[in-house]
Amino acid sequence: MTLEEKIGQMMLVWAHMQFTNPASPEYQHLLDEMHSYHIGSFGLTIPVVHGHLVKSPPLEAAALTNQLQRDSRLPLLFAADLERGLPMRIEPATGFPAAMAFGAAGDPELARQFGRISALESRAIGIQWNWFPVADINSNPANPIINTRSFGADPKLVSSMVTAYIAGAHSAGLLVTAKHFPGHGDTDTDSHLSLARVPASRSQLDTLELVPFRAAIAAGVDAVMIGHLTVPALDPQHPASISPAIVTGLLQNQLGFHGLVVTDALDMGALMQVFPGTPAEVSAAEAVAAVQAGNDMVIIPADVAGAYNGLLRAARSGQISRQRIDRSVLKILRLKASLGLQRNRFVRLDRIPALLAQPDHLALAGQVSSRAVTLVRDQSHQLPLSSAAITVVLTDDANHTEGGVAFLQALREHLGSTQKFVVDASNADRLTPAILAAVDASARKPNAHIVVLAESFPSAGRTVAGQATGSAGLDPQSMQLLAEILKRANARTTVIAFGNPYIGTHFPQVSTYLCTFSNTPESGLAAVLALTGQQPITGHLPVTLPGLAERGWGIPLPASQVAAKSAQP
C-alpha cells in the first residue's frame, strides 16, 4: 500500500443510507471522496430534514453498501451508531429500548440477545461495526448526553451488561466499540456542544469509571472510542481524545488494550473549539494530535481534505512515523480480515427480508421493555388504573414522537377515550390554561385520574433555554405545567418518565411515579400495560434518583392486583 492509501485507511467519513443513483451527484461525491482520499471506512447515517431523521428501508441501505464495496479497490468497513438496534436508522427492523432499560430489567441474558440480534440484522445490510456498547457509568443525574444511553450507575451492573452485549454481538460476527473512554458519565456537559469535564480523582476513576472498560477489554471488545473530555486527574492539559497520557499511557499501556482505538467524531464542538483556524486547519490539527496521542482511526472530520492532508504532511515530514502509521493500518486490515471481507465483501439482498424484524426478535424487544418498567412511587395507591379523565403528553415535538403516539394508541385501546393534550415548546403557553381548567373540572368526575407522559431523552446538541451545555430534560414551559398539575391534583396524577428517569427529581412531591427508561413504541405499550395491571411491574432503578429513591429500588406490582404494594421509600 502507498502512504496515501494507508492514511485513507485511518479515516472514516459519513455516507447517507438512502436510495442513491450511482450517476447522481450525491453518489459521485462519495466516490470522489473515497478515491481522492483512499477512504477505507464509512459511517452510515441518514439524512435530517427539518430537524428529524429520515429513516431508510433496509434494501436501499444494503444496495448502497454493496455499490460502495463494488467501487472500492480494497474492502470497506461500514460502521453505524446503533445503540438501540437498526431502527435508529433503518426500518423495518428490531428496535430495542435504551441501554438503561436493560439495567432496570437487570438480566445480562437480555443484553446478550440484544447484541446477537443487532449483529444479525446489521450484518444483513452490510454494517459490520457498531459504536456500542456505552460503557459509561451515569453517576451524574445532570448528565445531558449519556443519561439513558448508559446501563446504569453501578459499575458491576454496567460491566455485566457490557460484556454480555459483546458476547452476543460477537456470536453473530459484529465488531463492537466500548465508549466513551475514560468515562463520560460524571459530566454535566454535552460534548457535541462544548468540552466536558470529568472531576473524578484517580482513585474514583479506578473504582468506578474504568471498571466497565476493563471488563470490555477482558471480553475482547474490538474497539474503544475516546471521548472529547477533560479529565484533570489523568491529564490536566489535553482532552482525552488527543492525550498521549490517556490514549497510550492509560488505555494501551496500563489497561493492556491492543485493539482499535478510535476518536469520537472530530466535528463535535468539544474538540473543534480547542484548535484555532479554518475548518480545514482545525481538522488537520485534530487528526494529527489524535494519531500522535495513540488513536488508530479518526472519524468524521469537519473537513475531510483537511484531515487527510494534515495526516499526510505529518507522515511525510516525520512528525508521525511510518512505523506508527503501519501499526494502526495493520490493526484495521486485521479487523477487516476477521470479518472475511477479503473473500466476500457483499451482502445478498434476497436474504434481508427473512433476517430483519423476525417475530421472536420483536417479542424479545417487547419483553425487555416490559421488564424495565419500574414503579418508584404509588403513595395514593392509584395503580392499576381502570379509567382516566385526562392524558397529557409532554414532549419535545408533538408531531414526531413515535413512542408517544404508540402510548396514546395503546391507552385508548385499554382505557377508552380520555381528554388528550399533546404539549411541546411551541404550544405549551397556549394549551396550559385549557389543561389546568380540565384538571380542575376532572375532580368532579368519577374517573378523575390524570396521566402525564413526560417524554425526555438525551439528544446530541440539544439545548433548552439557551444552555450550551446540552439538555436531556423537558422544556421549561412543560416543567412549569407539570408542577402546576401536581400542585392541583398530585394525589390523582400518575407521572410516567418516558425516557429520562431524573425528571421526577424536580418534583419530590410526586405521588405516583413510573419509569420506562426509553421512549420507543415498545416502551409506550409496556407503560400502558403496566398502568392497567395487564403485566406485572418488576423493574428496579439502575440509578439513584436524588430525593426520590436509591439505586436498586422498585415496587413490585403483580398483574391485576391493587392492594399488595411495598412500603414507599
* Catalytic annotation, residues: 192, 264
CA distance 496 to 512: 8
**Angle between helix 58-70 and helix 25-37 axes, rounded to 10 deg:** 40
Q: What are phi and psi of 450, to 5 degrees?
A: -120, 135
Cell of 517: 427508561
Cβ-Cβ contacts under 8 Å for 39 (sequence gap 6 or more): 8, 11, 12, 13, 33, 76, 304
Taking alpha carbons only, the member of 138, 279, 267, 262 closest to residue 212 is 138
Cell of 382: 392509584
- Are 122 and 175 within 8 A, CB to CB? no
CA distance 85 to 119: 9
Helices (H), 339-394: 352-355, 359-372
Detail the DSSP E strand segments found in 17-149: 41-45, 48-49, 52-53, 77-80, 129-130
Any idea which residue has 445532570 for its cell?
142
Distance of CA 81 to the CA centre of its chain: 8
CA distance 246 to 293: 8
Q: Is 179 helix (H, G, I), strand (E, B) or coil?
A: strand
Cell of 2: 502507498
CA distance 241 to 230: 9
DSSP state of 251: I
CA distance 569 to 567: 7
Our CA angle for 462, 263, 265, nearest 5°, is 35
CB count within 10 Å of CB 444 equals 8
